[in-house]
Amino acid sequence: MARKQIDIRRVVEGLRWATKDLPDPSVTMVGKKWKNPFLVLISCLLSLRTKDETTLPASERLFKLADNPQDMLRLSLDQIQKAIYPVGFYKTKARSIHSICSHLIDRYAGQVPDDIDELLTLHGVGRKTANLVLTEGFGKLGVCVDTHVHRISNRLGYVKTKTPEETEWSLRKKLPKEFWIEYNSLLVVWGQNVCKPISPFCSDCPISNDCLRVGVSTSR
Protein backbone atom coordinates (compact mmCIF):
# COMPACT_ATOMS: atom_id res chain seq x y z
CA MET A 1 0.00 0.00 0.00
CA ALA A 2 1.31 3.43 -0.93
CA ARG A 3 2.32 5.70 1.93
CA LYS A 4 -0.19 8.48 2.53
CA GLN A 5 1.06 11.89 1.41
CA ILE A 6 0.86 14.46 4.20
CA ASP A 7 -0.70 17.77 3.18
CA ILE A 8 1.68 19.96 5.14
CA ARG A 9 -0.07 23.15 4.07
CA ARG A 10 -3.31 21.91 5.63
CA VAL A 11 -1.40 20.82 8.73
CA VAL A 12 0.20 24.26 9.16
CA GLU A 13 -3.10 26.05 8.61
CA GLY A 14 -4.78 23.77 11.16
CA LEU A 15 -2.07 24.41 13.72
CA ARG A 16 -2.24 28.17 13.16
CA TRP A 17 -5.93 28.07 14.01
CA ALA A 18 -5.52 25.66 16.93
CA THR A 19 -2.68 27.60 18.60
CA LYS A 20 -3.95 31.15 18.10
CA ASP A 21 -5.05 31.46 21.74
CA LEU A 22 -2.08 29.62 23.24
CA PRO A 23 1.06 31.44 24.44
CA ASP A 24 4.10 31.49 22.16
CA PRO A 25 7.29 29.68 23.22
CA SER A 26 9.47 31.84 25.46
CA VAL A 27 12.15 32.51 22.85
CA THR A 28 9.51 33.57 20.32
CA MET A 29 8.14 35.98 22.94
CA VAL A 30 11.61 37.45 23.45
CA GLY A 31 12.03 37.88 19.70
CA LYS A 32 8.68 39.63 19.36
CA LYS A 33 9.16 41.85 22.42
CA TRP A 34 12.72 43.06 21.89
CA LYS A 35 13.55 42.26 18.24
CA ASN A 36 17.17 41.91 19.31
CA PRO A 37 19.33 38.98 18.09
CA PHE A 38 21.59 39.15 21.16
CA LEU A 39 18.66 38.80 23.57
CA VAL A 40 17.21 35.98 21.48
CA LEU A 41 20.59 34.23 21.61
CA ILE A 42 20.83 34.52 25.39
CA SER A 43 17.22 33.45 25.94
CA CYS A 44 17.84 30.43 23.69
CA LEU A 45 20.75 29.45 25.89
CA LEU A 46 18.65 29.84 29.04
CA SER A 47 15.81 27.80 27.53
CA LEU A 48 17.87 24.64 27.11
CA ARG A 49 16.48 21.96 29.46
CA THR A 50 14.27 24.56 31.09
CA LYS A 51 10.50 25.07 30.91
CA ASP A 52 9.14 28.19 29.26
CA GLU A 53 7.50 29.41 32.44
CA THR A 54 10.98 29.57 34.00
CA THR A 55 12.90 30.79 30.95
CA LEU A 56 10.96 33.97 30.22
CA PRO A 57 11.07 35.49 33.75
CA ALA A 58 14.76 34.58 34.03
CA SER A 59 15.47 36.26 30.69
CA GLU A 60 13.60 39.39 31.74
CA ARG A 61 15.47 39.60 35.06
CA LEU A 62 18.81 39.29 33.29
CA PHE A 63 17.98 41.76 30.53
CA LYS A 64 17.12 44.40 33.13
CA LEU A 65 20.74 44.16 34.26
CA ALA A 66 22.34 43.98 30.81
CA ASP A 67 21.03 43.88 27.25
CA ASN A 68 24.29 43.85 25.25
CA PRO A 69 27.58 41.90 25.34
CA GLN A 70 29.62 44.74 26.83
CA ASP A 71 27.31 45.30 29.79
CA MET A 72 26.82 41.57 30.26
CA LEU A 73 30.57 41.09 30.70
CA ARG A 74 30.57 43.75 33.40
CA LEU A 75 28.28 41.53 35.46
CA SER A 76 29.94 38.99 37.72
CA LEU A 77 29.15 35.31 37.31
CA ASP A 78 27.38 35.49 40.67
CA GLN A 79 25.14 38.32 39.46
CA ILE A 80 24.19 36.37 36.32
CA GLN A 81 23.59 33.19 38.29
CA LYS A 82 21.28 34.97 40.72
CA ALA A 83 19.35 36.60 37.87
CA ILE A 84 18.77 33.42 35.88
CA TYR A 85 18.17 30.97 38.73
CA PRO A 86 16.36 28.50 38.69
CA VAL A 87 16.96 27.71 34.99
CA GLY A 88 18.59 24.34 34.45
CA PHE A 89 22.39 24.31 34.77
CA TYR A 90 22.36 27.99 35.70
CA LYS A 91 26.01 28.02 36.83
CA THR A 92 27.21 26.50 33.57
CA LYS A 93 24.99 28.84 31.57
CA ALA A 94 26.37 31.89 33.38
CA ARG A 95 29.89 30.89 32.32
CA SER A 96 28.68 30.26 28.76
CA ILE A 97 27.10 33.73 28.64
CA HIS A 98 30.42 35.32 29.61
CA SER A 99 32.25 33.22 27.02
CA ILE A 100 29.77 34.09 24.27
CA CYS A 101 29.95 37.81 25.07
CA SER A 102 33.75 37.77 24.98
CA HIS A 103 33.65 35.96 21.64
CA LEU A 104 31.16 38.43 20.18
CA ILE A 105 33.25 41.40 21.25
CA ASP A 106 36.58 39.92 20.14
CA ARG A 107 35.45 38.57 16.76
CA TYR A 108 32.28 40.38 15.76
CA ALA A 109 32.61 43.86 17.29
CA GLY A 110 29.87 42.97 19.78
CA GLN A 111 27.33 42.03 17.10
CA VAL A 112 25.61 38.67 16.74
CA PRO A 113 26.45 37.13 13.35
CA ASP A 114 23.53 36.29 11.06
CA ASP A 115 25.24 33.26 9.53
CA ILE A 116 24.58 29.78 10.89
CA ASP A 117 28.17 28.59 10.55
CA GLU A 118 29.44 31.64 12.43
CA LEU A 119 26.82 31.17 15.15
CA LEU A 120 27.94 27.57 15.62
CA THR A 121 31.41 28.81 16.64
CA LEU A 122 29.92 30.36 19.80
CA HIS A 123 30.32 28.41 23.02
CA GLY A 124 27.30 26.24 23.79
CA VAL A 125 25.48 27.04 20.54
CA GLY A 126 24.16 24.09 18.55
CA ARG A 127 22.03 23.93 15.44
CA LYS A 128 18.76 24.39 17.32
CA THR A 129 19.93 27.62 18.94
CA ALA A 130 21.63 28.89 15.78
CA ASN A 131 18.48 28.39 13.71
CA LEU A 132 16.33 30.06 16.38
CA VAL A 133 18.60 33.11 16.40
CA LEU A 134 18.29 33.34 12.62
CA THR A 135 14.51 32.98 12.59
CA GLU A 136 13.45 34.79 15.77
CA GLY A 137 16.33 37.25 16.01
CA PHE A 138 16.90 38.20 12.39
CA GLY A 139 13.71 37.03 10.66
CA LYS A 140 15.88 35.02 8.26
CA LEU A 141 15.11 31.57 6.92
CA GLY A 142 16.09 28.65 9.10
CA VAL A 143 14.66 25.33 10.21
CA CYS A 144 14.83 24.97 13.97
CA VAL A 145 14.30 21.43 15.21
CA ASP A 146 13.89 20.66 18.88
CA THR A 147 12.45 17.55 20.51
CA HIS A 148 8.85 18.60 19.71
CA VAL A 149 9.53 19.33 16.05
CA HIS A 150 11.46 16.07 15.67
CA ARG A 151 8.78 13.99 17.40
CA ILE A 152 5.73 15.51 15.73
CA SER A 153 7.22 15.63 12.23
CA ASN A 154 7.89 11.89 12.50
CA ARG A 155 4.57 11.18 14.21
CA LEU A 156 2.75 12.91 11.36
CA GLY A 157 4.59 10.72 8.91
CA TYR A 158 6.00 13.79 7.16
CA VAL A 159 9.59 12.67 7.75
CA LYS A 160 11.20 9.42 8.79
CA THR A 161 14.32 10.30 10.75
CA LYS A 162 16.18 9.19 13.86
CA THR A 163 17.74 12.41 15.12
CA PRO A 164 16.80 16.12 15.25
CA GLU A 165 19.64 16.96 12.86
CA GLU A 166 18.36 14.41 10.34
CA THR A 167 14.92 15.95 10.73
CA GLU A 168 16.31 19.42 10.04
CA TRP A 169 17.91 18.36 6.78
CA SER A 170 14.84 16.40 5.72
CA LEU A 171 12.61 19.43 6.41
CA ARG A 172 14.99 21.71 4.51
CA LYS A 173 14.45 19.51 1.48
CA LYS A 174 10.66 19.15 1.57
CA LEU A 175 9.07 21.79 3.82
CA PRO A 176 7.99 24.81 1.75
CA LYS A 177 10.19 27.79 2.67
CA GLU A 178 7.17 29.93 3.48
CA PHE A 179 6.68 27.75 6.59
CA TRP A 180 10.30 27.53 7.74
CA ILE A 181 10.23 30.33 10.30
CA GLU A 182 6.90 29.51 11.99
CA TYR A 183 7.14 25.71 11.86
CA ASN A 184 9.14 25.48 15.07
CA SER A 185 6.91 27.67 17.21
CA LEU A 186 3.74 25.97 15.95
CA LEU A 187 4.99 22.48 16.73
CA VAL A 188 6.55 23.46 20.05
CA VAL A 189 3.26 24.93 21.28
CA TRP A 190 1.36 21.90 19.99
CA GLY A 191 3.83 19.49 21.53
CA GLN A 192 3.65 21.21 24.91
CA ASN A 193 -0.13 21.27 25.03
CA VAL A 194 -1.67 18.51 22.90
CA CYS A 195 0.76 16.26 21.02
CA LYS A 196 2.48 15.01 24.17
CA PRO A 197 5.36 12.53 24.01
CA ILE A 198 3.27 9.86 25.73
CA SER A 199 -0.48 9.42 25.19
CA PRO A 200 -1.15 12.51 23.07
CA PHE A 201 -4.61 14.12 22.99
CA CYS A 202 -5.51 12.83 19.53
CA SER A 203 -9.25 13.19 20.21
CA ASP A 204 -8.79 16.98 20.56
CA CYS A 205 -6.44 17.38 17.60
CA PRO A 206 -7.79 19.27 14.56
CA ILE A 207 -5.10 17.77 12.32
CA SER A 208 -5.71 14.15 13.38
CA ASN A 209 -7.04 13.28 9.91
CA ASP A 210 -3.72 14.39 8.43
CA CYS A 211 -1.61 12.46 10.93
CA LEU A 212 -0.38 8.89 10.49
CA ARG A 213 0.23 8.59 14.26
CA VAL A 214 3.54 6.86 13.70
CA GLY A 215 4.70 5.22 16.93
CA VAL A 216 1.55 6.17 18.88
CA SER A 217 0.36 3.16 20.86
CA THR A 218 -1.96 4.94 23.28
CA SER A 219 -3.77 8.27 23.00
CA ARG A 220 -6.50 10.27 24.71
- The answer to whether residue 2 sits within a structural domain is no
Task: Assign 98 to helix, strand or coil.
Answer: helix
Q: Which of 102, 137, 172 is the last residue of a domain?
A: 137
- The answer to whether residue 3 sits within a structural domain is no
Per-position DSSP letters for 34-84, written without gaps between them: H--HHHHHHHHHHHTTS-HHHHHHHHHHHHHH-SSHHHHHHS-HHHHHHHH
For the stretch 63-106, pLDDT in tens is 999 999 999 999 999 999 999 999 999 999 999 999 999 999 99
Q: Which of 122, 137, 152 is the last residue of a domain?
A: 137
Query: What is the residue range of 73's domain?
Result: 26-137
Number of domains into which the chain is organized: 2
Structure confidence at residue 110 as a pLDDT band (50, 70, 90): very high
Q: What is the CATH number of the domain that holds 62?
A: 1.10.340.30
For the stretch 5-55, pLDDT in tens is 899 999 999 999 999 999 999 999 999 999 999 999 999 999 999 999 999
Torsion 162-204-184-60 (CA) sign: negative
Q: How many residues does the chain have?
A: 220
pTM: 0.93
Q: Are residues 77 and 165 in the same domain?
A: no
Q: Which of 137, 160, 180 is the last residue of a domain?
A: 137
Tell me the helix, strand and coil percentages in the chain, rounded to 5: 65, 0, 35
Q: Are residues 43 and 79 in the same domain?
A: yes
Q: Are residues 118 and 40 in the same domain?
A: yes
pLDDT at 1: 41
Q: How far is CA 69 from CA 56, 104, 155, 170, in A?
A: 19, 7, 40, 35
- The answer to whether residue 71 sits within a structural domain is yes
Q: Is the pLDDT of residue 2 over 60?
A: no
